[in-house]
Chain A
Amino acid sequence: MEERIKQALINIVGETNYTDNLIDLVSYSYDGSQHRHRPFCAVWPETADHVSGVLKLANTEKIAVIPRGAGTGLSGMAVPVRGGIVLDLCRMNRILKISIEDRLAVVEPGVVYADLEKALAPHGFFFPPDPASGKVSTLGGNVATNAGGLKGAKYGTTRDYVLSLQVVLPDGRIMRTGSKAMKSVSGYDLTRLFVGSEGTLGVVTEITLKINPKPSASSTSLATFDKLDDAGRAVSRIMISGIVPSALEILGRHTLSAINQNTDLNLPEVDAMLLAETDGYTQEEADFQMRRIIDVFRNNHPRQVQLAKNDREAGDLWLARKSAYGVLARIKSHFVLEDVTVPMANIAELLKGIEAIGERYNLQIATFGHAGDGNLHPQILYDGYDSEEVKRVEAACRDLFELAIALEGTLTGEHGIGLSKAQYMTLEHDPVAMDVMRSIKKIFDPHDILNPGKMGLDTQDE
């Protein structure tokens, strides 16, 4: 990092908020994906003015700036592929306001999701999107990727809850979007543009979130199916049954056998396991909805149906789903976790297609995910030191994305494009759409300094 620029950054954020220490540069080279690249330095802004100053400087000097939260993203959106300045927002971690009457919370981007939940719990409120990384991921990161989670089927994703943002643009100007009012259609919906933009259009420095009263009662059940088609039909029937489960998860055959091989959970080796949860403000409400689900299970040739009688039993039923990721992560040296999403009617087809891809390339692919909104997580396990196997994984991924698109789905339901899926954007988006996206990027960031090289919007070669 040029001394002049280093000094300018220190003047903006203060000496203790700047680092070009090797150990920091190394850890900022990575996120939760397989990508890596060293930045020149990193800063820890504490205010929107700090962020503004840094961006203004970077924009003038044409240096890349890469905003970062907890760095747990799975697609490489926080990896500084053009070097530059990592903007670690974790020190902006105050919960500024919780207003129950207005049903909103105002937070800085570095607030960890779990800390917001902890602060809302005493009020009987919650922030519904429930990303699996919630114990560590930050709300800024959740906004950048439009994080989803287990409760997506009933409660939607992050974007459904963002009322307003304070954003710093790539040239350093600070603006607000949206409104504290529960609904507004005043001017273009800039809030929605920024949510899910993966830190490429602006840096979010304050988030106003809608919060919901937390249903206090729930009911949990589990069903196993010898035939995948039966499970798929059960999912469709549940979704048209007139009730909405708060969670509907699926585990595929390979996932179940992997869990069995590595734990003593002793799960049945079937084509699919479905885990359903309903919630309500009264136990009657939760139970009523669950009865509908049990009926659907029973009418679709299950091998077994289990209904939890209390919280402890519910916890037991959830164990398989919650241990899936960890168990699979330990089996081989590397893995790729995708999140292709298809319309619910096509879930069974997607599962079958994934199975076929595994066979075609002789790869171990275990799938689990949110059947409730069609968002599946195929986890491809492989030996990353076997270059031949790596090539097969790359080919398998391409087939996977082509399959999802063919089934009228999308490349990613919640993890984002980042670097990992950048090359596949044209599979999903037509040339006009790509052109429009590039134009939007250019309007916000004419010098391409804010998180450049991501989302396949570049015309530059990596």
Chain B
Amino acid sequence: MEAKYDFVKRYRDQILKCSKCGFCQAVCPVFGLTLRPALNARGKMLILKEVMDGQIALDDTLIETLFQCTTCANCLKNCPSDVNVPEIIRQVRKDMVGIGSCHPAFRGMQQVLQSHSNIYAEDEPEDFGRERNKKARSVYFIGCVGSHREAESTLATLRLLDRLKVDYTLIDEVCCSGVLEDVGFQTNERLARKNIELVLATGSETIITGCPYCFRTFTQNQQYAAFKENGIDVLHISQFLKRFDIEVKTDRRVTYHDPCDLGRHCGIYQEPRDTIQKIASNFVEMPRNRENALCCGAGGGVRGAFAKNSIAMARRRIQEAVDTGAEVLLTECNSCVHNLTNARLRKQHIGIYTTTAFINLLMDAG
């Protein structure tokens, strides 16, 4: 039978490799919250098998499951058969968009990025009181969440960079648009070109970004190949910060949440810990950490499309942090900070920060 969809052409064998063992149920954040097998990785593969067999159609009925996946890859890491569910889901979403079947929030995202410079359609850029587009050794790329939802956190990061006397510039950045690849569309070429233009104009050798998603997009998406071609290094701030001797210390109990985009998707687990352990002697790990970290629920477009469930997933992760006795929860992703902060209950007295914002806080206090 001729493969009707790209996901079949590219991933048929993998989907068939799913032996239905169900081990993914142990780690999937959506299943952990809803206890609905249809929303778990195995459920998704079974549904795709039936699409391939012609038993069911690829249509709107499947949106609830095929678009409700944070692409956190925890299933993949635990799959005895190595089924790359996040990649399969990404391709399926593209196929579904191709036949006109898409979650309205994702279509909305695509449309917003056609006419705006960020996913929130905010027309006024946040002013961080710093010059943009000047010549500098590094560009600091904030990302949409950091600019428009976690401005305080970004401001703290910039203050830290100033304190460390980093020679950087902001740019009139636009959305890296990497998220579109996850929700059924493609990286927006116009926006990518704009970012590349702005970066090249600064003459910088390095892009430092606070957003693991932008980091992933700049290093893995071919629309940003120009960076490598021009010899520009892309670093996540946790990799950059490792080089510095941070003098401040805290004896508060601190734990760390590995963002999916930095951890499982980019393999960066140790660098943030190196910095955190320099400043916090009372550091504890949550039982689910590194490759097995529990997703905060915001990724893969889920915070936009299934906001209630997204926040409920974050609530489960916060409880894990609270259970360690930690007073401070650090992470490296503003999207995680945003979702976790929204989910935090009033009775939970735990501070949630990016590492840089926290370091800046300690310096302010010191």
A–B touch (CB < 8 A): the answer is yes
Pick out which of these stretches binds chain B: A19-27, A295-303, A340-348, A386-394: A19-27
* Cα(A91)–Cα(B35), bound, Å: 7
Pick out which of these stretches binds chain A: B41-49, B196-204, B302-310, B334-342: B41-49
Q: How far is the CB of B51 from chain A (nearest CB, A)?
A: 10
What residues of A have a CB within 8 angstroms of the CB of B62 in the complex? Answer: 22-23
A105-121 vs B: 1/0 string, CB under 8 Å?
00000101010000000
Pick out which of these stretches binds chain A: B15-23, B111-119, B163-171: B15-23
Across the interface, B80 reaches (CB within 8 A) one of A70, A72, A88, A329, namely A329
What residues of A have a CB within 8 angstroms of the CB of B47 in the complex? Answer: 23, 26-27
**B22 and A326 contact, CB distance less than 8 A:** no
A27-B22 contact, Cβ under 8 Å, with A91-B35, A325-B80: no
A330-B38 contact, Cβ under 8 Å, with A22-B56, A23-B62, A70-B22: no
What residues of A have a CB within 8 angstroms of the CB of B150 in the complex? Answer: none
**A23 and B23 contact, CB distance less than 8 A:** no
A69-90 vs B: 1/0 string, CB under 8 Å?
0111000000000000000101
Q: How far is the CB of B46 from chain A (nearest CB, A)?
A: 6
* Cα(A207)–Cα(B35), bound, Å: 20
**B64 and A23 contact, CB distance less than 8 A:** yes
A22-41 vs B: 1/0 string, CB under 8 Å?
11101111111100000000
Across the interface, A136 reaches (CB within 8 A) one of B22, B80, B82, namely B22
* Of A23, A33, A335, most B-chain CB atoms within 10 Å: A23
Q: How far is the CB of B32 from chain A (nearest CB, A)?
A: 10
Nearest opposing residue in chain A for B35, CB measure: A90
* Cα(A278)–Cα(B43), bound, Å: 39
Q: How far is the CB of A197 from chain B (nearest CB, A)?
A: 22
* Cα(A71)–Cα(B40), bound, Å: 12
Count of chain A residues with Cβ under 8 Å from any Cβ of B? Answer: 32
A297-338 vs B: 1/0 string, CB under 8 Å?
000000000000000000000000000011001100101000
Across the interface, A330 reaches (CB within 8 A) one of B56, B61, B64, B82, namely B82
Across the interface, B81 reaches (CB within 8 A) one of A21, A22, A90, A330, namely A330
Tell whether B246 is near chain A: CB-to-CB under 8 Å.
no
**A26 and B26 contact, CB distance less than 8 A:** no
* Cα(A397)–Cα(B300), bound, Å: 44
* Cα(A22)–Cα(B62), bound, Å: 8
* Cα(A27)–Cα(B61), bound, Å: 14
Q: How far is the CB of B8 from chain A (nearest CB, A)?
A: 15
Q: How far is the CB of B128 from chain A (nearest CB, A)?
A: 44
What residues of B have a CB within 8 angstroms of the CB of A212 in the complex? Answer: none
Tell whether A123 is near chain B: CB-to-CB under 8 Å.
no
Nearest opposing residue in chain A for B22, CB measure: A72
Tell whether B65 is near chain A: CB-to-CB under 8 Å.
yes
Across the interface, B61 reaches (CB within 8 A) one of A23, A72, A333, namely A23
**B43 and A27 contact, CB distance less than 8 A:** yes
* Cα(A417)–Cα(B82), bound, Å: 28
Tell whether A133 is near chain B: CB-to-CB under 8 Å.
yes
A333-B17 contact, Cβ under 8 Å, with A23-B38, A26-B47, A27-B38: yes
Q: How far is the CB of B293 from chain A (nearest CB, A)?
A: 16
**B38 and A32 contact, CB distance less than 8 A:** no
* Of B16, B22, B40, B50, most A-chain CB atoms within 10 Å: B22
What residues of B have a CB within 8 angstroms of the CB of A97 in the complex? Answer: none
Tell whether B36 is near chain A: CB-to-CB under 8 Å.
yes
Tell whether B25 is near chain A: CB-to-CB under 8 Å.
yes
Across the interface, A135 reaches (CB within 8 A) one of B26, B42, B65, namely B26
**A136 and B26 contact, CB distance less than 8 A:** yes
Interface residues of B in 67-109 (CB under 8 A from A): 80-82
* Cα(A8)–Cα(B127), bound, Å: 58
**A326 and B25 contact, CB distance less than 8 A:** no
Across the interface, B43 reaches (CB within 8 A) one of A23, A72, A333, namely A23
* Cα(A28)–Cα(B80), bound, Å: 21
Tell whether A125 is near chain B: CB-to-CB under 8 Å.
no
Q: How far is the CB of B278 from chain A (nearest CB, A)?
A: 26
What residues of A have a CB within 8 angstroms of the CB of B35 in the complex? Answer: 44, 88, 90-91, 93, 110
Q: How far is the CB of A304 from chain B (nearest CB, A)?
A: 27
Nearest opposing residue in chain A for B37, CB measure: A27
**B80 and A32 contact, CB distance less than 8 A:** no
Q: How far is the CB of A36 from chain B (nearest CB, A)?
A: 8
Across the interface, B37 reaches (CB within 8 A) one of A71, A112, A133, namely A71
**A26 and B38 contact, CB distance less than 8 A:** yes
Nearest opposing residue in chain B for A68, CB measure: B37
What residues of A have a CB within 8 angstroms of the CB of B22 in the complex? Answer: 31-32, 70-72, 133, 136
A114-B80 contact, Cβ under 8 Å, with A23-B61, A44-B35, A335-B19: no
**A330 and B17 contact, CB distance less than 8 A:** yes
A70-B38 contact, Cβ under 8 Å, with A30-B20, A30-B46, A31-B20: no
Across the interface, A114 reaches (CB within 8 A) one of B26, B39, B50, namely B26
Q: How far is the CB of B241 from chain A (nearest CB, A)?
A: 31
Nearest opposing residue in chain B for A337, CB measure: B19
A24-B38 contact, Cβ under 8 Å, with A70-B22, A71-B22: yes
B4-37 vs A: 1/0 string, CB under 8 Å?
0000000001001101111101100000000111
What residues of A have a CB within 8 angstroms of the CB of B50 in the complex? Answer: 26
**A26 and B46 contact, CB distance less than 8 A:** yes
**A22 and B61 contact, CB distance less than 8 A:** yes
Nearest opposing residue in chain B for A86, CB measure: B37
7 sample A-B contacts, Cβ–Cβ < 8 Å, listed by A number: A21-B64, A22-B56, A23-B43, A27-B37, A112-B26, A133-B23, A330-B17
**8 shortest A-B CB distances, which residue pairs?**
A326-B80, A27-B43, A135-B26, A23-B38, A72-B22, A27-B37, A27-B38, A136-B25
Chain A residues packing against B (C-beta within 8 Å): 21-24, 26-33, 44, 70-72, 88, 90-91, 93, 110, 112, 114, 133, 135-136, 325-326, 329-330, 333, 335
In the complex, given contacts A27-B40, A72-B25, A110-B35, what are 15 additional A-B residue pairs having Cβ atoms less than 8 angstroms apart? A23-B47, A24-B36, A24-B38, A26-B38, A26-B50, A27-B37, A27-B42, A28-B38, A93-B35, A135-B23, A135-B26, A136-B23, A136-B25, A325-B80, A326-B80
